[in-house]
Amino acid sequence: MAAGALAVLLSCLSCCGSALWRYHAASPNYRIFSTRTTITLEYEGTLFSEWSVPETCSIKDKRSPKTELRCSTPGFQNIKPIVTGPDLEDERYLFVDSTNICFLWYRKIAQYYNNFTQVITIWVYDPENADPDELQLKADAPSLNSYVLTRQMATLGQRPSIHTLLKRKVYLSDEKLKDGAWHISIPMTSMDTIKDIRGNQVTFQDCFVSDVLFLLGFPRLTIPETPGFLPISSPLGSQLMIVSSACVPSSIVLVAHMETFQTNDSFRTWTTIRVPPGILTDEERSNVSGVSLSPDGVFFLINGILYLKNITTFVKLGSKENLPDGGIIGITTRKWCWMNYLLKANKRSNLAIWTRDAIYLGYDSLEFVEIINIKKVRETIYIPSTATVRIHSIVYTAHPLEFGMFLSYCITCNVMKQIYLGIYNEDSGQWMLKDFSLNVTMDTFITPHFVFSSMPELILWDKHRIYYSYHNFSANGVIQTPTEFGNLSKLSDDSVIHDVYLDYYGNILVKMENNNLFFFKIYVRDAVKLPLWTNKATKTQFFLNSVSQVNFVSVFENGTLDVQEFPLSLEIRSATYKTKEKCPFVAFHNNIDRVFYILDKKKKLLIWAQIVYPENKGLYIIMELYGPKLLEYKFHNKYEIASGFCTKTMDIMLYQTVNYEAVHDYFKLQDQNMGHMVIQVRPSEFEKTCPTPPRVFQVAVGCDTSKYIVVKGFDYNDCPRHDFFYIIEKSYLRHQPDKNLRVKYSWKKYGCPLKVDFRTNFHPLLELHNENGYIEDVEVNFIVWEIHGREDYSFNITMQKSGCLNEAQTWKSMTTLNKHLPLEEAWGPQNYKHCFSYAIGKPGDLSQPYEIINKSNRNHLVWPMHRTGMYVFRVKILDPNYSYCNLTALFAIETYGMIPSPNGYLVFSVLFLLMLLFCSILTFSYFHYMRIYKHLYGPTDKRKQKNN
């Protein structure tokens, strides 16, 4: 009897509890899953009999629970284990591809903190013939097979390079191999983390190397383990809690019921986070209810109190940090990463903390601010005095500057309550109640997440169901299943929902506490159940690794971790193949190759999107804009039909038409028309099988801080790199001081001075640049002034010659008009008025110099003819319709070619010396010639006298 009972128990565990099967490929993250791939099949359980595979596949040992499979024919392959007893095992339809991509890039990263660079060692490897260390990404050097393969590929012309997707930079590898690998040096950065290794189109044995996309930013350090510190954990029996950095997903904190783990490389390595003894009781240490990760460290929520753990300290946060000393019910950080965004006024938070009555935002350096409370909410909108309103939860939206505030509302508060949503914008400091409500029972806790979209679209869940709110809250409901009306618990042996995973591609994966999985996509209203991947009794959680793929991490009772790659795309194709579900469109293309665009004045953004679908489907393209109405747009649609397929192309132009010239309040009008929008371009219909997600991107209207102007022809390297001093005579200065001005010339600030002959007039030409180099020539008006106050220069064109009808603005007139302002603010685009209309300005003396320059008006700087000098000018864009930025630049001119005016004393001295020299020479000549005369004629006279 006992043996029979044991057999029944094992049978129940195998069939209904822990039996499952998986498959693996040698290629990391299942990147290559083709006819060339060796597929490892693995069955967990005691009732296994044999494998059922199609005839197009060959299996090494079909009676072994763990065996190898190869499929020579591409397509869907029906694979399942045959078990004794009830046939409850899931079958899968694995899609085996036919591709010429056989090889992968292996990368090894070395960090050099002395010069903040990262050296990436790259070689080619074949997953089917690689060493175990290469397959586990632990290799330090190429294996013998990889060494030979890499050298062969290099001989054929292969050479990898790294391309960054955000800032569009390219880093080339060394031309020659070193120890069988290429090396690429790149700077450490936290603003350009998405990188792509690309190679040349080189084949070896008809096989290419696959490009690989990965995330690499400024390295983050884990908190070191300290001997004697004690573990911090969640309550016994609780599910795993996991948080990661939005922009560095490989940086993760995992809280289990026995330890807290931290990793900065997607759990390839990890450490435990422990706290010093004496701060928390044993009960508090094992009662973590919330965790968040920020640049300041790891925040733990324990019994309504917030604690911070970082490399140097573990501290309790409270009133000293402007936080409540208790009563905190939740903390959260951002889920979606936006490297770039436009802020006009306020700062952007890293952390949101809330109690039942107030919300606090956390910023860098442990700065916390109470942003709103229930009292202010009641003052903003009408709420009956008998109603009870509480803050339910806070979630950051996909918008980079907003978060959602979910409010719990009830009057009698006995049976039902309503959940309402308000959106708070951190830049404007305003919040708005949205047209969303959800009725739930009083004991129901709703967990919301915003999907990655332009509009604030929601996925919410309680213990049993998933709720959705799409299309700006106009489509609401429960995610349905083939049976049980969307109750996922009834399809999962009464297990409850543990967590929901969302990614940038619109995939939504629901995990139950017993590890059952359900899948659907954004805008889809029904879910499909996926086969079990991990044991039902194991505590697991999913995370995004460094190549943006879903992985599972399991925590065992002995405190060890196990990481498993999860082939989400293969599992989706298998599950949807059974339901015969097809994507309504064949292809969806667009030219949106960035996630952030910034538009300056008069600039346009031209994008297009194209959808191809079977005729009679009636699909179309939708563009959704969220944010202030800053842009105008035009559409142009093209339609083609051929061979039973329709092609629709939509050209979109986004632009502004605001004229800022001669307005009453220039800065106010600028501020009203600056801002930030999130735009989405998507097909009108979407299904779970659609591989292409909606395209979400930002358009910021305002100043692009990466842009700057330079004066053409100036350089920092054409002169000796040193500072020096020079004197400006007081009579040359604008304010006529009492003494000469001694000026320090800073090479770092001003660059190399351009030497100009005083007889040559100088016409400055401006260029617009950004961090990537030259953009365009600046053709609009600009002004110059000497920053040290010199005014001994002029312009070669008069107002009349430039075509003015009224007197033009000058530095003298503008400084007189704006005496209360500094010189650099007295004249600019905010008060510029042109002189080419009788309606603008006043008549005056048009023979004055015209002090406004542009590329085509041939207005030059004219230098004084009687002296040389050093001039340091600042140039400013004057045209109010050119840029939201205050574009300025410095340049220096050194005039030469004029002999200095002579000194009177020096002239007199020189003349005196010349006269003295002349007299001396004359006197010397006189006596010299007298001697000669005496020599010639003196003796003859004496002889005559003697003869006489």
CA distance 242 to 227: 25
Residue 716 has pLDDT above 80, yes or no: no
One of 1.10.287, 3.30.420, 2.60.40, 3.20.170 is the CATH number of 101-215, namely 2.60.40
Tokens of 927: 């006596």
Which residue has 């009788």 as its token pair?
838
Residue with tokens 């009408």: 382
Residue 937: the pLDDT is 61
Does pLDDT of 18 surpass 80?
no
Look up the CATH architecture of domain 588-701.
Sandwich (2.60)
**pLDDT surpassing 60 at residue 877:** yes
- Report the alpha-carbon distance of residue 314 to residue 276 in Å, rounded: 7
pLDDT at 3: 40
Which pTM value belongs to this model? 0.88
Please calculate the CA angle 142-148-150 and round it to the nearest 5 degrees.
Answer: 70
Dig out the tokens for 886 from the structure. 């205050």
Q: CA-CA distance, 64 to 50, in Å (whole number)?
A: 7
DSSP for residue 16: I
Measured distance CA(501)–CA(508) in Å, rounded: 6
Residue 898, pLDDT score: 59
Question: Vertex 316, ends 315 and 322: CA angle to 5°?
Answer: 120
Rounded CA separation 698/402 (Å): 14
For range 864-879, the mean pLDDT? 92
SS3 state at 170: strand
**DSSP class of residue 36?**
T
Q: What confidence tens digit (pLDDT) does each residue in 393-429 have?
A: 999 999 999 999 999 999 988 999 999 999 999 998 8
Summarised one tens digit per residue, pLDDT across range 146-169 is 999 999 999 999 999 999 988 889
| pLDDT score for 433 | 93
pLDDT for position 789 = 93
Residues 6+ apart with CB under 8 A from 916: none
Residue 233 has pLDDT above 90, yes or no: yes
Is the pLDDT at 945 greater than 70? The verdict is no
User: What confidence score (pLDDT) does residue 17 get?
Assistant: 47
DSSP H or E stretch at residue 892: strand 888-896
Please give the mean pLDDT across all residues of the chain. 90
Sign of the CA dihedral 272, 275, 277, 282?
negative
Q: Would you state the structure tokens that stand for residue 425, as one six-digit string? A: 């914008």
pLDDT tens, residue by residue, 56-96? 999 999 999 999 999 999 999 999 999 987 656 789 999 99
Collapsing DSSP to helix, strand or coil, 667 comes out as helix
931: confidence class by pLDDT, cuts 50, 70, 90: confident
Per DSSP, the residues of 742-769 read EEEE-HHHH-SPEEEETTS-B---EEEE
Half-sphere exposure of 564 (CA within 13 A, CB side): 16
According to the model, what pLDDT value does residue 6 have? Answer: 35
Instruction: Give the span between the Cα atoms of 678 and 667, in whole angstroms.
Output: 24
